[in-house]
A = this chain, B = another copy of it.
Amino acid sequence: MPKLWSETVEAHRQAVRDATLETTAALVAEYGLSSVTMSQIAKEAGIGRATLYKYFPDVESILIAWHERHVTDHLGHLAEVRDRADTPAAQLEAVLRAYAHITHKRPRDSEIAAFVHRGEHLATAQQQLRGLVGDVVAGAARVGVVRDDVPPAELADYCLHALAAAGGLPSEAAVQRLVDVTLAGLRPRS
């Protein structure tokens, strides 16, 4: 297969996949998980029903793929934010602010959220997130801007749990205060 053709096929597959994910999430948000069918998704996404089944066996698997894409995007975003900052202290602050922002914006209490957060696929993403934050915390501890009397992995768990409070906060200003308080917990004891 010539390279150009295989790239075109790949781009087409990606486009079908993307359209399917977005259509399904929108339909489930509007009508509820139990009333959305594969036929409805195919029709709304503008693809054949047989084609849809080549990609996904059922509505649930589409929702999980949709959520996995979101999670991957978020992890990628946090890695980018980390790489743009130039000191360990700045990396830590930037990653925690970005994570708190994601948590604040994340839709909650929806049927989709309840469904996807039950999934086992989350364990890997959770592990990657803890790894990313743990590394940034460890980097900041090595240069003395984070306390070294608590293991970095425990501090990362503390951060991720504390920042989960952002989900219930009413304003971006409150989210920034939460990050300030969380960061204060990480400082070396004077």
| Cross-chain contact B154 with A158 (CB below 8 angstroms) | no
- Copies of this chain in the oligomer: 2
A169 within 8 Å of B by Cβ? yes
A114 and chain B: residue at smallest CB distance: B118
A115 to B181, CA, bound (A): 33
A159-179 Cβ-contact flags toward B at 8 Å (1 or 0): 011111100110000100110
Q: Chain A: interface residue count, which band?
A: 20 to 34
A1 within 8 Å of B by Cβ? no
A174 to B152, CA, bound (A): 12
A181 to B164, CA, bound (A): 16
| Cross-chain contact A181 with B185 (CB below 8 angstroms) | yes
| Cross-chain contact B178 with A154 (CB below 8 angstroms) | yes
